[in-house]
Structure 1
Amino acid sequence: MKTARTLALFVIIILSLSCPAKKGFTQEKEKGPVQSGSEDFLSPVSFSTGSNSVFAESPPSAVLNPAIPGGLQTTTLDFNYLSLAGLGEQRGFGHALNAGISIPTRVGVFSGSGRFFTPPYGEFYYDQTFGSLDLSFSKDLYREFYIGAGLGFSFGSDWGLGLDLGFVHFPGDLAFLKDFRWGFAFRNIGKPYADPGFTPAFASAFKLIRTEPVNLSMFGDLSFPSFRDIRFSVGAELSLFDFFFLDVTGIFDYDYRNENARTLPLSFGAAFQIPLGKKKRERAPKIKANISAAPLQDDVWAFGGGVNIPTGVLDTNPPVIETDTTKRYISPNFDGVKDELTIPLKITDERYVKGYRFIVENETGEIVKTIRNKEERPETTGVKNVFQRLVAVKEGITVPETLTWDGKSDSGTVVPDGNYRFYIEAWDDNANLGKSGIGEVVVDNTPPTAEISSPYKVFSPDSDGLQDVLIIRQSGSREDLWKGAFKDTEGSIVREFTWKEAEPPSFEWDGKNSQGILPPDGVYGYVLSSTDMAGNIGEFTLENIIINTMATPVGLNIDHPAFSPNEDGVKDELTFGLEVPVKEGIVRWELAVVDSEGGRRRVYRGGKEIVKQVVFDGKDDTGRVLPEGRYQGRLEVLYINGNNPKESSPWFTIDLTAPSAAVKADLDVFSPNGDGNKDVIVFYQDSSTEEVWEGRIMDAEGEVVKRYNWRGNAERRVQWDGRGDDGMVVADGVYRYVLKAVDSAGNTGGADPVSFSVDTRETPVQLAVNLTHFSPNSDGVKDGIRIIPTVPVTDGIESYELRIEDEKSGDVVRRFSGRGRVPDVFEWDGFTGERRRASDGRYFGELEVVYRHGNRPVVRTASFVLDTVYPEVRVSAEVEVFSPDGDGRLDTLRITQSSGEEDLWEGKVLDARGRVIREYYWKGRAESFAWDGKDGSGNRVPDGTYSYVVSAQDKAGN
């Protein structure tokens, strides 16, 4: 309804203005060089709005009122053309061409425009061709008040020069008049030519409808050209979606000199505003295309078109506020700790930041503190202030790097404890308001509180069950963090406890420091403290805490990790070593032997005097031999002061079962003569797991000609080529193979002997080597190999040749040859005939003997290996210091090993004197392991410096 009434009023106004227009238009007018209404030819918008002095587009508007461009923020161009067509008795065409530009700067807005005009015929009221140039300056003294000044120069058959002054005021909404504006202009103060002389003008404009899709604006203008005419215009503009604009204006023009009224009845205009570019519609520059039409005198019509091109857009974005809104705590109690809230601040804007405010609200949303800052420009309206604003350069305020709140309200008092919210608002010179995120600050002026007590303050943390811990009873306020610290007399922290987001609980201190180690006996103190998030400090103490341990350590070790109480004379007993350095004050002592289930099987007791050793015969308290299994000794000593130290020995084993094994051979007789037939004998073995197995091959007299040793289990298959430990083939005869072992408990066992014979009598020539592997690397160990021929028939030998051949390729790498008797030994140093070192690999020797009567026996050695590569191993320790005390921290030393494949790797832990403490053995590759700080019997070794060595020797002696 409201919109309909407004549109009806708009139609009535147009009709009423059009009624007297015909009479005025038909009146004759006085011809002259200066006529009112010349401003209508500035642009199509001037025609359609009646040259309104506050409702016009820049730059042309600067000619009507130089103050209008004062609020312009983007450089704007305007180009238009108007055609004047005589459609009645007077025929002809006139032209008006206009161009203008407005350039906003930090000082103000500079505008310039130029005109060129030619009339349609000689009797037209502008009967001369002329041009003009206008320059102006405008400035927004206040957001709602613009002023401006301009200078216009016209030329043609004569010339003119005039000063223009003006202002525009924007009071805003006045009742139903929305966006009201009004202003005065004083045009052409000086010598007139093309335009009327001194012309005062008053204009106003407002919106009757202001909605998102539809706007209806009304405007009017009253001017007195040269004080000889009265010119009045009223019009309306309908805007749809900020895209289409329709203007209709009625104009009353009264020339009081001729007492005739001259009226241009109606003028019409339309415009389209089109966004440019790919930006969002509201953020894209918008070009406005205008057209207009108006009837003039003598059936002359003016038709015009033009474009208004802004090169940018009005800044509608609020300032961007960057700050830290994380939760903060303060205690504004002026103790120098967290008395203030300080936050970083950064505000940026597309134009100028004109002000900001920091706002603090309580939990109910009530504002308790506002810190303001705005443009440092006086707000008074005196002459001095106006001049200051006139010459001022536009700039934003200085934004500090931080903002600080001291915890006080606007009334100057410290705010109560509680949670508060804070945020920052900032605005620019276009009144765009930005807001930061909301931060939280907790005001807390209450320090932590607590109470501490203990039932006793002297204790002995020696694990004897008597006041081994100090009981701390405490309570207090709930805080983010409580710290409890035990300190020595020097103030150094021995042990510290922390509790987060809780009240301080009661607890027990075991007397140990932060590393789990008991500190020295002495006087200590306990301090409970808390600093809350706001910086308030609470501290509470308990003095004169005494640690008195009167240490009485004991130790218990064994001489063997296993024994066999079977009365065979070998390891029938186990000896306990009692280490009791403090012998004064002993009340009694007890040594118990317990089984793996903890059952007490044998107990030794004593009084004030304690023995150094106890010999255990493997029997229980009833005199019966204990069954096989794992056992442990446990020593307990009671002192008169209440100390009751206890110690356990390493676990040991009672083992009554002897090692067992079985052996068989694949041959009863073999002939290691190199003829390829029964040159080796194979023993197949099956054994129990023991520390060391020993295999022996003995001749008929019991002499050992060959030995084997294995760790853990005996090799499943052993092949013997008939050579003894000296590398020589043994003599023919009867031999036997014996496999046996002695376990850690002293039990001896093994397999039944296996008998066999060696018989090489049918072989006329034999060839043997003294080594299966050798390493010609000049280290003095197995640097050469001896090849030993056996030639029973030495007469009639014409020549001989010994060839060393590569088993893989068949190439001969070295030859030994001669005539007559064959040498007893050939020695090969690993070099070829060209004196180059032969490659690592497997070789064999082949001997050929040529007799004069034609026999040519050929015999080969068993293959042997040339190996110059040393065994490789990499060893590293996890740490260099460890403490095998059973506290769960660094109780073992991790030894990491990486090696190649070898027959046997041997690792040894050595003490500072080089004595072997612990041995390890591996077949194949050396494995990583953890040393628990004990010797081979399981006893804990003393504190000190130790070293670890791992080694291996391959078959070639490397």
Structure 2
Amino acid sequence: MKVMKKMWIVLGLFPALAGAIVDGSQWIYLGVTPAGSGNGYAGVTSDERSSYLFLNPAAPAYVQRLNLSLQVGISPWQSLVNGSFSMPIPTGVLSVGGKLLNGPESLGGVNGFFVGFSKAIDRYLSFGFDGYMMVHGAGSNQMDIAVGGDIGAIVRLRKSFAPFDKGIGFKDNVVGITLKGLGKPAQVLADTPVPAIGIRGGISGTWMDYGWLKAQTGTELNLDVWPFQVYGIGYTTFSIVDHLYLRGGLVLGNNGLGWFGNGVNFYTLGASFAYKINEVPFEVFYSYNPVTLNNTSSAMHMAGVQVAFGYIDEKPPVVDFKVASSDLVDGVYYFSPNYDGNKDVVELAVNIKDESLVQKWEVKIYNENNEVVRSFRSEEERDIGLDFVRFWKKLWAKKAAVPVPEKIVWDGTSDKGTLVPEGKYFVVMTARDEINNQGTSSTNALVLDVTAPSGSIALYDRIFSPDGDGNKDVLKLDQQVSSSDRWRAELRNASGDVVLSWTWQTNIPSSLTWDGTDAKGQLLSDGVYDYLLYGEDLAGNKTILSAKGIVLTTQKQSLFVNLDKQSFSALKGQTVSFQPMVSERQGIEKWSAEIGNDLGEVVYRWEGKADLPTNFTWDGKDEQKKVVKDGPYTFKMKVVYESGHMPEAESRVILDNTPPAFTFEFDPPLFSPDNDGENDTLYIHLLTEDPQNVKQWEMVILDPDKKPFKIFKGEGNPAPTIRWDGRSDNGELVESAQDYTVRLTVEDTVGNTLTTNAGVIPVDILVEQTELGLRIRINSIEFEFGKANLRSAKMPILDRLAQILKKYSAYEIEVHGHTDNIGSEQRNLELSLQRAQAVKDYLVKKGIPARRMTTKGFGFQYPVADNATEEGRRKNRRVEFILIKK
């Protein structure tokens, strides 16, 4: 009975409060707009119409060109006029509006002037505020001025409840709120302060969409504290072929704000027609708004128009996206990602032109089966939440396009980090502007090829004598090479000078004849020559074939020395072999040979009589069997014939026992490949140096268990810069807050090898995007054995985690504890929860509010690796942080 009495008391208050304000003033408090007047005076959730400025200053935030609105209303007792315009400015949207209400005599006249600013903070949140001055005059000498402002916000909800693109469901859901009348009201009439001080909020969405027929519905609630009044609104709008709109609304409240007696009645009806003429869109409105004054029923008939002027961009972005090289063959670019510094990557120049701001771009690389193997996209927009400082910066920031790189660089790896197979690929770029126009580039064709050209060389004889006697006057050789590649041949003398060369693009000869002359037809001097054949394919893969030790001699009893290598390492057990070549082996009386350094010191010697050895082998040691110093050495030989002729010859060799040197650097210093647009790619700068050149190298990035994670290797000197996306050879991403050791092995052409730890790559805490949302997984938080006590050595990781979690202030945090499978299930469940709680407690000390965090313990229910190995158990002992949008 007590409850019933209270209900009757509350219901009885509404009639009592209905006369608290002067009849006819209800239009001021409800808010009148061209579209909203047919929807029960709603409009706090609209973010695309300038006329809704009077209901929510955030409403014009998405206006893209000059937008004008005008409305006129007439009833037997009153008339009203309101108008506004909105226009984009570099930082947002500027709006100006005015309104006028005349009659009845008991109210007088009210007019006001508004200036507002609105801004789309991100793709979900709009914010706005305005300032106003209103004048209320009643009678001949009664007048007061109101000065103040309103603050509003509109949020587009992420979730939709529409199972299909068309049909019944709930989508495009929007929430709006306004704090209104924040200032000094005009108080000419004691019970009718203008404007009201209060709050208004609502929600709307589309519940039917069949393309040609759509329906939107919404509800709003208003609470004013001075004068005290409460009213609610419900409305629906039907759209037919996007031209005809039918509206209806209900409003119910006290003070004649939607009632059955004096004041504004409880329902409204409206319609509008939208069309476009010469790119100028307009919409005309009409609404029927019943009203009762002095117990006499009538209606306010309202008509309005909204027009947009100026150019709106309907053209898609022009995407100029092409290979940044003129080295194309039939429109195709060939490249070879083998880390040798030559065509390791393909660079595609980007130039996007659009009359609006580019909001999104994406690059996709397809294989010949039309499967996407690699994609690049504009920096991932993460809703990291807004603290006051970040909100304030965004509010006043100029509108900006999404950053567009000058070029896209592809190193031949897939989205999983592995090298794609050799073959043909196709690259396309798309871009979308703020108007949602989309442009697509032309298709770029690429060929990935890491196979070097192949071939062989065969000599008929290494010695020839172009003396015109008809015996061995020319040198003949055969060469079998791949015909689709480019080839270049050189003849070099013993000093390394090029004395004759050939270049072939096509029609490479299978045999070659040399008569001992140079390019001018002059006979070259006697000596030892080398024939070198260089091959390079369209992708930049190279190979070198050679036929060394070719002897040209025109003299009798001549001597030449050939050697089997130009350099060698004694410490690797290598030797060098010198082969003396004489035109006549008969009649030799004696011979001698020695090896000396550049100081003239002889370190080893040979001598003998008539029998000349076919080769002399030196192991890099002196006659005391000690390895001599690194450097160049000269083999000198002299042969004495019985005729008295004494030909001499020499040849130089380099002894190198020193392994290569290197420098290793990388940037950025803290690597975080989580696709947030910051420090996602690591640039490794590896420089090797060796007098004899580098034969091959291997850079192994080791995981925290010191096992190979990612391997880069190649032949020759490495590329000056090697790019890494943080993925292993199996496509696994690096772990958060872990150090990755780099082990480098470099071998020079004589076999000297250096293997050492080149450095350590620290990985930042990664915030990964998953199907469930954002996730942070950390394996390196350490606890005492079998306990939940944190080890102090890992506190800096949690300090860094606290910094990142503060950045994501818009998220609730679930702290998940996980263990390996050592011990009982129950004990691991308890331990994992205790450890999650310990982490939470530490983060609270570092400024993360406890209310944002919840803890869960899963024991060993969800392993991420095999518990049968120590490596797997280490990965399973982890703490994960799931970030859930509030």
Q: TM-score, normalised by structure 2?
A: 0.51
Map 1:118-129; keep pairs closer than 5 Å: 118-119=102-103, 121-122=104-105, 127-129=107-109
Structure-2 separation of matches of 1:70 and 1:56? 6
1:761 match: none
1:293 match: 288
Map 1:360-371; keep pairs closer than 5 Å: 360-371=365-376
Structure-1 separation of matches of 2:48 and 2:502? 78
1:507 match: 511
Would you say the 8 A contact 2:282–2:307 is kept in 1? Answer: yes
Structure-1 separation of matches of 2:208 and 2:491? 80
The answer to whether structure 1 residue 542 and structure 2 residue 576 are counterparts is: no
Instruction: Specify the SS of the correspondent of 1:178.
Output: strand
1:422 match: 427
The one-letter code matched in structure 2 to 1:97 is: V
Provide Cα deviations, 1:294-335, integer angstroms capped at 9, x if missing partner: 221123322222221212365455433212145322233332
2:88 match: 104
Deviation at residue 168 of structure 1 after TM alignment: 0.9
Structure 1 83/275 Cα, relative in aligned 2: closer, same or farther at 3 Å? Answer: same
Map 1:167-206; keep pairs closer than 5 Å: 167-172=153-158, 173-175=160-162, 176-193=169-186, 195-206=194-205
1:44 match: 34
Instruction: Specify the SS of the correspondent of 2:389.
Output: helix
Structure-2 separation of matches of 1:437 and 1:513? 53
Instruction: Specify the SS of the correspondent of 1:324.
Output: strand
The one-letter code matched in structure 1 to 2:321 is: T
Would you say the 8 A contact 1:59–1:113 is kept in 2? Answer: no
The answer to whether structure 1 residue 114 and structure 2 residue 94 are counterparts is: no
Deviation at residue 415 of structure 1 after TM alignment: 4.3
1:54 match: 45
Provide Cα deviations, 1:521-541, integer angstroms capped at 9, x if missing partner: 856543222112222221112
Structure 2 unmatched ranges of 5 or more: 1-13, 138-143, 163-168, 187-192, 324-330, 556-886
Deviation at residue 222 of structure 1 after TM alignment: 2.0
1:139 to 108, 112, 119: 119
Map 1:213-252; keep pairs closer than 5 Å: 213-226=212-225, 228-252=228-252
Deviation at residue 116 of structure 1 after TM alignment: 1.7
Deviation at residue 431 of structure 1 after TM alignment: 5.3
Structure-2 separation of matches of 1:258 and 1:147? 29
Deviation at residue 365 of structure 1 after TM alignment: 4.7
Provide Cα deviations, 1:524-579, integer angstroms capped at 9, x if missing partner: 543222112222221112235567899xxxxxxxxxxxxxxxxxxxxxxxxxxxxx
Structure 1 525/376 Cα, relative in aligned 2: closer, same or farther at 3 Å? Answer: same
Instruction: Specify the SS of the correspondent of 2:485.
Output: strand
Provide Cα deviations, 1:141-193, integer angstroms capped at 9, x if missing partner: 11111111122322132332342122111115333112111211122133434
1:75 match: 66
The answer to whether structure 1 residue 306 and structure 2 residue 293 are counterparts is: no
Deviation at residue 343 of structure 1 after TM alignment: 2.2
2:584 match: none
1:380 to 385, 393, 403: 385
Structure 1 519/376 Cα, relative in aligned 2: closer, same or farther at 3 Å? Answer: farther
Instruction: Specify the SS of the correspondent of 2:50.
Output: coil
The one-letter code matched in structure 2 to 1:100 is: S
2:79 match: 95
The one-letter code matched in structure 2 to 1:132 is: G
CA RMSD of aligned residues (A): 3.8
Which structure's relative contact order is higher, taking Cα pairs within 8 Å and 6+ residues apart? 2
2:273 match: 272
Structure 1 364/257 Cα, relative in aligned 2: closer, same or farther at 3 Å? Answer: closer
Instruction: Specify the SS of the correspondent of 2:355.
Output: coil
The one-letter code matched in structure 2 to 1:492 is: V
Structure-2 separation of matches of 1:315 and 1:441? 34
Deviation at residue 495 of structure 1 after TM alignment: 5.1
The one-letter code matched in structure 1 to 2:32 is: L
Structure 1 79/509 Cα, relative in aligned 2: closer, same or farther at 3 Å? Answer: same
Structure-2 separation of matches of 1:485 and 1:51? 90
Would you say the 8 A contact 1:34–1:195 is kept in 2? Answer: no
Provide Cα deviations, 1:601-626, integer angstroms capped at 9, x if missing partner: xxxxxxxxxxxxxxxxxxxxxxxxxx
Structure 1 345/463 Cα, relative in aligned 2: closer, same or farther at 3 Å? Answer: farther
The answer to whether structure 1 residue 496 and structure 2 residue 502 are counterparts is: yes
Instruction: Between 181-190 and 217-226, report the one with greater CA deviation.
Output: 217-226
1:844 match: none
Would you say the 8 A contact 2:258–2:265 is kept in 1? Answer: no
Instruction: Specify the SS of the correspondent of 2:246.
Output: strand
The answer to whether structure 1 residue 153 and structure 2 residue 133 are counterparts is: yes
Deviation at residue 267 of structure 1 after TM alignment: 2.3
Instruction: Specify the SS of the correspondent of 1:389.
Output: helix
Would you say the 8 A contact 2:29–2:195 is kept in 1? Answer: no
Structure 1 456/251 Cα, relative in aligned 2: closer, same or farther at 3 Å? Answer: same
2:442 match: 437
The one-letter code matched in structure 1 to 2:319 is: I
Deviation at residue 290 of structure 1 after TM alignment: 1.9
The answer to whether structure 1 residue 349 and structure 2 residue 354 are counterparts is: yes
Would you say the 8 A contact 1:511–1:547 is kept in 2? Answer: no
2:664 match: none
Structure-1 separation of matches of 2:429 and 2:379? 13
Greater per-residue helix proportion? 2
Structure 1 57/269 Cα, relative in aligned 2: closer, same or farther at 3 Å? Answer: farther
2:152 match: 166
Q: How many residue pairs end up in the alignment?
A: 508
Provide Cα deviations, 1:275-307, integer angstroms capped at 9, x if missing partner: 232xxxxxx231222222222112332222222
Map 1:234-633; keep pairs closer than 5 Å: 234-255=234-255, 264-277=265-278, 284-297=279-292, 298-312=296-310, 315=313, 317-325=315-323, 326-374=331-379, 379-430=384-435, 432-457=437-462, 470-477=475-482, 479-486=484-491, 491-492=497-498, 494=500, 496-500=502-506, 506-509=510-513, 511=515, 525-545=530-550
Map 1:750-829; keep pairs closer than 5 Å: none
Deviation at residue 469 of structure 1 after TM alignment: 6.6
Would you say the 8 A contact 1:469–1:508 is kept in 2? Answer: no
Instruction: Specify the SS of the correspondent of 1:47.
Output: helix
The one-letter code matched in structure 2 to 1:337 is: N
The one-letter code matched in structure 1 to 2:273 is: F
Q: TM-score, normalised by structure 1?
A: 0.48
Would you say the 8 A contact 2:231–2:257 is kept in 1? Answer: no
Instruction: Specify the SS of the correspondent of 1:44.
Output: coil
Map 1:598-747; keep pairs closer than 5 Å: none
Structure-1 separation of matches of 2:352 and 2:199? 45
Instruction: Specify the SS of the correspondent of 2:408.
Output: strand
The one-letter code matched in structure 1 to 2:510 is: S
Would you say the 8 A contact 2:20–2:255 is kept in 1? Answer: no
Provide Cα deviations, 1:701-723, integer angstroms capped at 9, x if missing partner: xxxxxxxxxxxxxxxxxxxxxxx
Would you say the 8 A contact 2:499–2:518 is kept in 1? Answer: no
Instruction: Specify the SS of the correspondent of 1:374.
Output: coil
Structure-2 separation of matches of 1:198 and 1:40? 12
The one-letter code matched in structure 1 to 2:502 is: E
The one-letter code matched in structure 1 to 2:26 is: S
Structure 1 218/265 Cα, relative in aligned 2: closer, same or farther at 3 Å? Answer: same
Structure 1 unmatched ranges of 5 or more: 1-23, 87-91, 278-283, 551-958
Deviation at residue 230 of structure 1 after TM alignment: 2.8
Would you say the 8 A contact 2:50–2:60 is kept in 1? Answer: yes
Would you say the 8 A contact 1:327–1:441 is kept in 2? Answer: yes
Deviation at residue 505 of structure 1 after TM alignment: 5.6
Structure-2 separation of matches of 1:184 and 1:152? 18
